[in-house]
Structure formats: C-alpha cells, structure tokens
Amino acid sequence: MARHAKHLEREIENLKGMILALGNDVEASVKRSVRSLTRRDSVLALKIIDADFDIDQMEVDIEEECLKILALHQPVANDLRLIIAILKINNDLERIGDLAVNIAERAVYLSTHEKFEFPFDLQDMAEKAQEMLNGCLDAMVNLDTELAKKVCKSDDEVDEMNREAHSLVEARIRQNPEQLNSMIQFLSASRYLERVADHATNIAEDVIYLVDGDIIRHSSQTTPNKSEYSG
C-alpha cells in the first residue's frame, strides 16, 4: 500500500510539471501573438501558428496521463480533485493557445495591408488579459485562492475594454469605410483577448475548486462563465 501511494505521488508530481510546462508555453504564445499583431510581424506570427502543434500535443499527453492515473490508481479525495482540476485547466490552456493562433493570423493579414493608426489601445487590453493569465497560473502553482479570486474580478475590466474597442472600431469604419476589412481584424483580435481573459477566469475558478472544493462557476462570486469558444 505504501509503495502504491508513493508511486501515485510521483505520477501526480509529474502531472503537475506537465501542466505548468503547458501553461508557460501558452503564456509565451499569447505574448508573442500580441507582439506580432502590434508590429504586423508575419514571420513571428507564422512561428506561433506552427508551434501550436506542440501545444496541442502537450494537451493530449496531459489528458492521457490524467486518464492513466485515474484508471491505475483510482485516486480519492484531494488527489481526485487535483486530477479533475488539471483536466479542466488543460482544456482551457489549449483553447488559449488556439486564441493566440487566431491573433497571429490577424497579424499575417495586416502585414500585407497598408499601415494606419490603431483604432484603440490593443496593447493595454493585451496586458490586462496576460496579467490575468499569469495570475491564474501563479494561483495554480501556489494554490492561492485570494489571487484566483482577484483574477476572476478582473474579467469585468477586459469585458469593458472589448466593448469600448467595438465602439471605437464602429466609429472608425464610419469615418473610413475603405478600412472595413482591416478594422474587422482588430475587432477580432479584441474579441480573442476577451476570450483569453474568460479562460483565465475559468482556470482561477478551478484553482478555487481545487483548494476549497467550492464550485463557484455559476455563483455570484464571479462573473458568468463565457468560456464557450468557437472559432
């Protein structure tokens, strides 16, 4: 029994390392995708798109490892809750990686079109979304529920930035209708960043579940869950 417990402990530690590695790669991908967009750097954008295969493979490996541990060890209590949380966090991280690719694709498009002034401060919104992503990952590493709750509360700020971006883009299109297609690319990027914030919120909620056993996804403590992503 002691040997079995030790083996389970080692496998769970390995699983933690895997999810942290995925989190670091996804965080870097989001940061680089925003840089590629603001600089209209198609070379960097294409590197991000190509690297998504590795993120997808990491997500598959983590899911398989979770299922293997569940099947072989039949964990209970805290160990079971941890594995369930990692399965959910794993999915959110993979989705964030997809969103980074979507932003990079906007950069590829804009790199082939005439440069003009941004209709809104995309960098400010990106920094807030990245701050939330970094915060939820730190909360996961340190099992810090206070930080996780702070991340959840920040989601409203990013939502408001996205609404403001929408209004500014509409105004720019009215003034310069010939920029319609390019403006849509910026609006899409804003929406993708808002989705990054949504998924970061989901991860923060899962940290709270992991530590306290509380499912707050639909409670009044956080904003409603808007993680459903299509695109």
Q: Where are the domains of the chain?
A: 2-212
How much is the pTM? 0.88
**159-185: pLDDT as tens digits:** 999 999 999 999 989 998 988 888 899
End-to-end CA distance of the chain: 47
Greater pLDDT, 122 or 26: 26
Say if residues 22 and 59 touch (Cβ distance below 8 Å). yes
Which of the given ranges, 136-145, 207-216, 218-227, has the highest pLDDT on average?
Answer: 136-145
Say if residues 218 and 224 touch (Cβ distance below 8 Å). yes
Q: Is it true that domain 2-212 has CATH number 1.10.240.10?
A: no
Predicted local distance difference test score (pLDDT) of residue 229: 36
How far from 29 is each of 50, 95, 177, CA to CA, in Å?
Answer: 11, 12, 32
| Residue from 77, 169, 165, 105 nearest 129 by CA | 165
Statement: residue 121 has pLDDT above 60: yes
Residue identified by tokens 């498009």 is 109
Percent over 70 (pLDDT), the chain: 90
Statement: residue 68 has pLDDT above 90: yes
Token pair belonging to 126: 């990106």
Greater pLDDT, 45 or 38: 45
Statement: residue 9 has pLDDT above 80: yes
Confidence of residue 2 (pLDDT cuts 50, 70, 90): low
Q: What contacts 62, CB < 8 A, 6 or more positions away?
A: 15, 18, 19, 22, 86, 90
Rounded-to-integer distance, Cα 204 and Cα 170, Å: 33
**Number of helices (H) and strands (E), helices first, in the chain?**
6, 0
Mean pLDDT of the chain: 88
Predicted local distance difference test score (pLDDT) of residue 7: 82
**77-95: pLDDT as tens digits:** 888 888 999 999 999 999 9
